[in-house]
Amino acid sequence: MTGTTIGFVGLGGMGRGMAGSLLRAGHAVRVWNRSPEPVAALVAEGAEPAESLAEVFAADTVVSMLADDTAVERLLLDPALLAGARASLHVNMATVSLALAERAEELHAEHGIGYVAAPVLGRPPVAAAGQLNILAAGDGALLARAEPLFAAMGQRTWHFGDRPSQANTTKISVNFLLACAIESMAEACALAEANGVRPTDLIDLLTGTLFPGPVYSGYGAMVAERRYEPAGFRLPLGLKDVGLALDAGAVATVPLPFGSVLRDAFLDALAHGDGEKDWAAVASVARRRAGLPE
């Protein structure tokens, strides 16, 4: 075991695998989650359970992987929690707004706690395998201190600047592009199917020629086969990330016209009961618009 303890908050689909990767690398990990089942599973693998967030922030370093701004704000940005913390570094690996990233950095600094952002690329199986791509930004010395943790959880760490919000900017931009790719494949598949071409054949062509790679092969197959469960990344989270991109664009006066189209498509999918499906289920909207059978 290493000589320091890592506190880990947020054991959802991604966090569960990330904490497990830290354990396998020999780190002492103290875990907390709002629901007890993932905690019990990790304790069986050697983790230490935390009874409270205060116990988590008594660790040397805290890693968090929560769903959204609301969860981070409510659970981790409590001034009383930070004032009593013994931790000297918080690594926030969630996809959050730029405004929250800036507020979190300022609030941690007020309490003498280092803060870096390190959102990730990868779905739950990739997290469980310790093969994430980690997008990191913050003070260089703090990032160097976090590097052994990144090495345990990911295959590569990409650095994007000395302000934590720069990592969040990058992740929001990436997820915006992913949403655009899913929507464009959905529309292309609807066009093909409406004219007698099987969507699976179209995706085979695209991934074998113009668009090789995991995005078009993975999401393309889901769209063509209309296979949206189990969800690796739930549709409401996709809507959240599109909203983050639109908000960031508004602040920086960067028009994102596709963003408005995506937001309405995600809302349409939610209105039709697809909230528990993978965000690739936004493709069902293109099918409905084209009058194709469900």
pLDDT of residue 4: 82
Asked if residue 275 belongs to a domain, the reply is yes
Cβ(287)–Cβ(186) below 8 Å: yes
Active site residue 240: no
Q: Alpha-carbon distance 188 to 228, whole Å?
A: 18
Q: Domain containing 190: what range?
A: 168-289
Exposure b/e, 214-253, CB count within 10 A at least 16 = b:
eebbebbbbbbeeebeebbbbbbbbbbbbbbbbbbbeeee
Do 226 and 201 fall into the same domain?
yes
Catalytic residue among 30, 163, 171, 287: 171
pLDDT of residue 236: 97
Q: How many domains does the chain have?
A: 2
CATH number, domain at 68? 3.40.50.720
**What percentage of the chain has pLDDT greater than the value 90?**
98
pLDDT of residue 1: 35
Residue 3 clears pLDDT 80, i.e. is over it? no
Do 127 and 215 fall into the same domain?
no
pLDDT of residue 2: 45
The enclosing H or E element of 163 equals none
Do 124 and 213 fall into the same domain?
no
Q: Which residues contact 143 (CB under 8 A, 6 or more apart)?
A: 116, 136, 137, 159
Q: What value does the mean pLDDT of the chain take? A: 97
Per-residue pLDDT tens over the stretch 244-284: 999 999 999 999 999 999 999 999 999 999 999 999 999 99
Residue 159 clears pLDDT 50, i.e. is over it? yes
Asked if residue 294 belongs to a domain, the reply is no
Do 17 and 49 fall into the same domain?
yes
Residue 125 clears pLDDT 60, i.e. is over it? yes
Q: Alpha-carbon distance 244 to 123, whole Å?
A: 19
Q: Is 47 helix (H, G, I), strand (E, B) or coil?
A: coil
Do 107 and 251 fall into the same domain?
no
Asked if residue 142 belongs to a domain, the reply is yes
Per-residue pLDDT tens over the stretch 49-92: 999 999 999 999 999 999 999 999 999 999 999 999 999 999 99
Domain boundary among 111, 132, 162: 162
Q: Alpha-carbon distance 68 to 215, whole Å?
A: 23
38 band by pLDDT with thresholds 50, 70 and 90: very high
Residue 219 clears pLDDT 50, i.e. is over it? yes
Per-residue pLDDT tens over the stretch 6-31: 999 999 999 999 999 999 999 999 99
Domain boundary among 162, 177, 207: 162
pLDDT of residue 294: 80
